[in-house]
Amino acid sequence: VTLFPAMLTLPAGGSATFFCNISVENDSSSEYSLNWYKESNHSQAQKIAEISRNNPPMQTEKYVLTNHTTVFKIDILNLHQNDSGFYYCGLITLFEPDKVVESSRSHLVVTAAPEKTNATDEPEIEEDNPPDYIKAVLLGILLLAGVVVLLIFGYLTVTYRRGGMMMNRPDGVSLQKEEKPPVVSVSTVDYGVLAFQHDQCTQVSPDVWTVDQTEYATIIFPEEKPITPERGKKHQD
């Protein structure tokens, strides 16, 4: 009875497979069965599975047993670290009931699940992602700032063109349009000398003459249009 492979090192979560090859006399009528054993930390061996010559493949939650005539196979499923130990098979022949032929021991070592591999791969992805994320955030901030500046500039431009810039009076009243200056009427006074022809004057005797014979008259000429400050200035010039 031989067992192979002699040693297996597998990660947790996988499965291990051992083959047990038996050699018996060429007798089709002979009956035999095969037991599988496990030893942990050199403790007493424990029987974990059994299959006879004529049994079909058998499966439990932990083991799958297959009979290929002179080769028996065992699959240990869903490995855990406590599955580590030494495994071997034992041939039991019915024509020699008290005789068990054991194979050599095969060592199974179950390591921890390969979490470190995923952990080393993920940081590389995370290290690549932050620059792209930062670039996207900066680009969004720049675009937002550009939109705000354009809106402010457009608002100021429209307000300036409409002449709607608000100016506050001292009394708090706001003006939207500049008021036109009030129309001012300007009256002017001109002085002149009136000359009278002698033929139109009534002769008065010297006795009736007064000391002061100067006559004064005020003549007001109405303007056809109101005089604005500009016209008044021109008129004064």
Label residue 76 left, alpha or beta by phi (over 0 means left) and psi (-120 to 50 means alpha). Answer: beta
8 CB-near residues (< 8 Å, 6+ apart): 16, 18, 106, 107, 108, 109
Residues of the chain scoring pLDDT < 50 = 119-120, 165, 168-169, 172-176
CB-CB contact of 199 with 158 (8 Å): no
The predicted pLDDT at position 69 comes to 76
For domain 2-111, which CATH number applies: 2.60.40.10, 2.40.160.40, 3.90.1300.10, 3.40.50.300?
A: 2.60.40.10
pLDDT digits (tens, 9 = 90+) for 174-200: 444 556 666 666 666 666 665 655 555
User: What DSSP line would sit under 103-145, residue for residue?
Assistant: ---EEEEEEPPSHHHHHHHHHHHHHHHHHHHHHHHHHHHHHHH
For the chain, where are the alpha helices, taking DSSP H only? 115-162, 229-236
- Residue 32: other Cβ atoms inside 10 A: 16
Give residue 38's identity as a one-letter amino acid code: K
For tokens 């457009």, what's the residue? 154
Spatial separation of the C-alpha atoms in residues 152 and 148, rounded to whole Å: 6
